Amino acid sequence: MSKQKLDHLGVSAFCESMAMMARSGIQTDEAIELLQSGKQHTGGVLEEGLRIMKEQTDMGYGLSYAMKESGIFPDYALQMVEVGETSGRLEDVLFQLAKYYADQKTISEKLRNAVTYPAAMLVLIIAVLAVMLVMVLPTFTDVYNNLTGSLASSSYSYVRWAYGFCWLALVVMVILAGGLLIGLYMWNNGKRASVEAVLRKNRMCATILESHGMFRFTSALATFLASGHMQDEAVLNSIPMVEYKPVEDKLNKCVRHMEEGHSIAQAAYDEDLFEPVYGRMLLAGERSGNMENVLSRLTELLEENCLHQVDQLVGIIDPLLSGVLMVTVGLSLLSVMLPLIGMMNSVI
């Protein structure tokens, strides 16, 4: 069993390839052999996983068992493939999984870029401020000290304000960078809830987290329904995929409504789980017997909304950090240049 896992894009590509071959009538063992022949001499996680899967399918085991034995697939994919095999809707489930993990890849990259850019800007600002404090300001200070005797006793003493301003900005930027690094460490080491609790205090971040959680829920729900699950069971199995407590709390309220005999669409509408237009869209899909297609469309809309909100956040942070850099450097240089202008005027 491999210790490494396929990334989202790898899982999506595998599921889509298997789904297309299943649609063409190719048996599971033959499909895996075809994928394996196309990956010869490439190395990597997938090639090793396909080798193990081929061994298992040759012994008569199903796709879900072979995927589990390979150890390269996430638990959610394993669970869904097993359900698809049991219900006889493996092809539909594989296509749903392919779309789900492709969407997850898109959002993950967008969120990673939203963090990477501010981090790079913080590093740049810290570097510029450090150069200002270590090289630029001391050079001007030495010049003025040689000309006037002492900055403290001269008319040019306000140059010290440039030092103070740069030091203040540097301390703030270092604190922000440290907070970002600590947040990333906690997020990747089982402290996600603590980081989310801090992020929720910012309205825009809270909205992004909620949109992402709703996207994960609707995508998982569509997959479970495609696999033949009943509505109540599908909702219960989809809740753990959300990984955002405020959304999970809303979904648990919806579950209590469903226990009273309501459908998921009616419960979601009553609990304001979605925006009103989305809630009515889900109700219409349920009443028309087109629930799966509506959920698929709703998932796309939620993904687009989440990506749009991330772009908005980056659009705010970008000019803000750039402005801090320009203002800090500009005021500092102005502080050290004004005395020089004064001296030139006095000479003239």
- Asked if residue 78 belongs to a domain, the reply is no
**Do 188 and 283 belong to one domain?**
yes
**Do 225 and 292 lie in a common domain?**
yes
Torsion of CA 99, 103, 104, 109, to 10 degrees: 140
Same domain? 285 vs 331: yes
Verify that 25 and 147 share a domain, yes or no.
Answer: no
Reported for 234-243, long-range contacts at CB under 8 A and 24+ positions apart, including other chains, are 234/264, 235/264, 237/79, 241/76, 241/216, 241/217, 242/213, 242/214, 242/216, 242/217, 243/192, 243/213, 243/216
| More confident call, 111 vs 62 | 62
Residue 51: give the domain boundaries. Answer: 8-73
In a domain, 221, yes or no: yes
Same domain, 191 and 253: yes
For 140, 147, 159, 180, 348, the CA distances from 155, given in Å and listed in that order, are 14, 11, 9, 41, 18
User: Which CATH number belongs to the domain containing residue 335 in this structure?
Assistant: 1.20.81.30
Q: What local confidence, expressed as pLDDT, does residue 113 receive?
A: 76
Residues 50 and 104 reside in one and the same domain: no
Considering the domain architecture, whether residues 42 and 155 belong to the same structural domain is answered as no
Residue 167 shares a structural domain with residue 42: no
Residue 1 lies in a domain: no
The two structure tokens encoding residue 8: 């989202």
> How buried is 84 (Cβ within 10 angstroms: 0-12 exposed, 13-18 middle, 19+ buried)?
buried
**54 and 121 belong to one structural domain:** no
The reported pLDDT for the residue numbered 133 is 83
For residue 167, pLDDT beyond 60: yes
| DSSP string over 54-94 | HHHHHTT--HHHHHHHHT-S-HHHHHHHHHHHHHT-HHHHH
**Residues ≥6 apart with Cβ < 8 Å to 64:** 78, 81, 82, 84, 85
Per-residue confidence (pLDDT) for residue 3, from 0 to 100: 61
- pLDDT for residue 308 is more than 60: yes
285 residue type, one letter: G
- Higher pLDDT, residue 243 or 1: 243
Q: What is the pLDDT of residue 155?
A: 46
- Structural domains of the chain, count: 2
Q: Which two tokens stand for residue 146?
A: 């040689």
Judge whether 314 lies within some domain.
Answer: yes
- The verdict on residue 86 lying in a domain is no
Residue-wise pLDDT for 10-51, tens only, equals 888 888 888 898 888 888 888 888 887 765 544 577 888 888
DSSP state of 240: G
**Claim to verify: residue 343 and residue 259 sit in the same structural domain:** yes
